[in-house]
Copies of this chain bind each other. A is one copy, B any other.
Amino acid sequence: MAILEKTELVLNAAGRMVPEIANGRPQVPYLGVGKYQPRGNKAAPPIRTAADYPESGDKRVADLETALRKCGLRDGMVISSHHHLRDGDRVALMALEAAARMGVKDLMWFPSASFPSQKAAIELMASGVIDHIEGSMNGPLGDYCTQGKMRGMGVLRSHGGRWQAIQDGEVHIDIAVIAAPTADPFGNCDGSHGKSACGSLGFALADSLYADHVIAVTDSLVPFPCIPWQIQGNSVDYVVTVDSIGDPARIVSGTTQVTRSPDRLRIAEFVARFLRDAGIMRNGFSFQAGSGGIALAFVSYLKQMMKDAGVKARFVRGGSTKYLVELLEEGLTDYILDGQTFDLSGVQSIASNPRHVATSPFTSYNYHGKGNFASMVDAVVLGATEVDANFNANVVTHSDGRLLHGIGGWQNCLAAGCTILAVPSFRDRIPVIVDEVTTLCGPAELIDVVVTERGIAINPRRQDLLDAVKGSKLPIHPLQQIKAEVERICGGKPQRPQRADRPVAIVKWVDGSVLDSVWQVV
């Protein structure tokens, strides 16, 4: 890819300027929620034959370089990796650095997410080994991107959008490298056991099914069969054993911590009370909340309210934590449907409790499937970096324009019956409620409630919710009013970022269309 690819910008249905071409590939500008009708057929991986694989099932090779060479690694290929090991992952860099030693250039790195501990990838971008990253960029890699230093254009996708892009053939993965906390010589992989256990491996499933070549890398080899086999050896070409796939301390936290901030506790309590008073918290209901401090506190409040009301959930969606595990173990939910596992309690539970079930972006989030779980969840509690007075929201950039976060499952979760953004009204004296979001990640029509420490705003499109809480003691206010109050406190609106007229990344919508651009910061 050329540095500073020239491309025309067009106005999409959300009123955002987006490039027509990214990394040489024509793009569909966002058309509106549910408006883009996909055509054609799914990606079709090459047909293999068992005659080309060892009859013994032993696919081990000496090291990653050998595996990459056998996979035919060459310039310009797409290498994928996964973030199950989060900031503790060692495998992605191991593979990219092996590729660097082998002298290849212009790779596209396609992680499900990248983390600060992988900032050495910046050197690989500077030296031309990596052309660009398509995937969530948390921290320094995103910052590097918004500094305009990445050769190709960043492409940000939700977890479901990543599956959709692979499935639909928008991204063709040449070589998938899967970090496996346990694997057998045939390539069956499990994430719940082993010294680097991380829980579910669902993010790697699409790659295992659609990539031309798949390498499993493990530090805990077991004899065939590795059970459970969330990744099936029948999709794997080579198995590499290494001393360590990651730093256990950063793979899962020992425990995830509830917030101690009074303001954030207040937000969490508002969210729980809203679910209760709006009648969403009822027998057989379902919800999803993340692993942030507000979300955890929300689960604690809700749990007590469920107990008080004698209400039981049918399922809760992970990111699992000990708080969700407690709900399961205390009989307050029938199931945890888990996309990723955030703490040790979650890992232990998913390894042993058949009601704690690993999911994948296919089941949970893929918009180009025959439906998915996201729209069946009654309520989801999410964060945001910014939200505008019309309920449009941002989750990837800060108000200074820097790209510091990935989308994760955030966009996919907006399909829930009731989408709640639980956000402080300002951070570091910068208002979170803004005139216009720096980057549009979530269209207003899908965001139903914004809960701040200063009150709860319900999207006027949701008259049903407004009616449901009429007469309750909840502090329901127009979002515009909360915004004005915050601006008074903070001494005005946030400064608009200084930016060049050059898009450095695009934000995909769940259907693969381009929702917004991320601009170079100057």
Contact = CB atoms under 8 A, between A and B. Distances in A.
A259 interface: no
Contacts of A38: 47-49
A390 interface: no
Interface stretch (A53-61, A145-153, A480-488): A53-61
A237 B44 CA distance: 21
Contacts of A49: 34, 36-38, 367-368, 511
A119 interface: no
B57 A34 contact: no
A445 to B, nearest CB: 13
Interface stretch (A10-18, A293-301, A354-362): A354-362
A397 interface: no
A493 interface: no
A314 interface: yes
- Chain B CB within 10 Å — which of A168, A354, A370 has the most? A370
- Chain B CB within 10 Å — which of A38, A57, A167, A376 has the most? A376
A335 B227 contact: yes
B47 A41 contact: yes
Given A234-B363, A235-B370, A376-B56, A357 B227 contact: yes
B232 A362 contact: yes
A187 interface: yes
Given A56-B376, A315-B225, A376-B56, A48 B234 contact: no
Interface in A259-292: 284
A160 B370 CA distance: 26
B53 A234 contact: no
A449 interface: no
Contact of A234 (B41, B372, B415): B372
Nearest to A417: B55
Contact of A370 (B48, B224, B371): B48
A336 to B, nearest CB: 10
Interface string A219-242: 000011101110011111100000
A50 B375 contact: yes
B48 A45 contact: no
A44 B59 CA distance: 27
Contact of A47 (B167, B187, B227): B167
Number of copies: 2
Interface residues of A, number: 62
A57 B376 CA distance: 6
A367 B355 CA distance: 34
Contact of A43 (B44, B228, B229): B44
A459 interface: no
Nearest to A209: B209
A357 B229 CA distance: 10
A39 interface: yes
A234 B46 contact: no
A72 interface: no
Contacts of A307: none
B39 A376 contact: no
A68 B59 CA distance: 44
B45 A367 contact: no
Contacts of A39: 47
A213 to B, nearest CB: 10
Contacts of A335: 225, 227
Nearest to A38: B47
A110 interface: no
A492 interface: no
- Chain B CB within 10 Å — which of A47, A57, A227 has the most? A47
A130 B351 CA distance: 47
Given A50-B366, A225-B315, 11 more contacts: A38-B49, A47-B168, A47-B368, A50-B372, A55-B371, A55-B415, A57-B373, A225-B357, A227-B357, A232-B362, A233-B371
Interface of A: 34, 36-51, 53-57, 59, 167-168, 186-187, 214, 223-225, 227-229, 232-237, 284, 314-315, 335, 337, 354-355, 357, 362-363, 366-373, 375-376, 415, 511
18 contacts: A41-B44, A41-B45, A49-B511, A50-B368, A50-B369, A50-B370, A51-B367, A53-B370, A187-B370, A224-B314, A225-B357, A227-B335, A227-B355, A227-B357, A228-B354, A233-B370, A234-B366, A354-B354
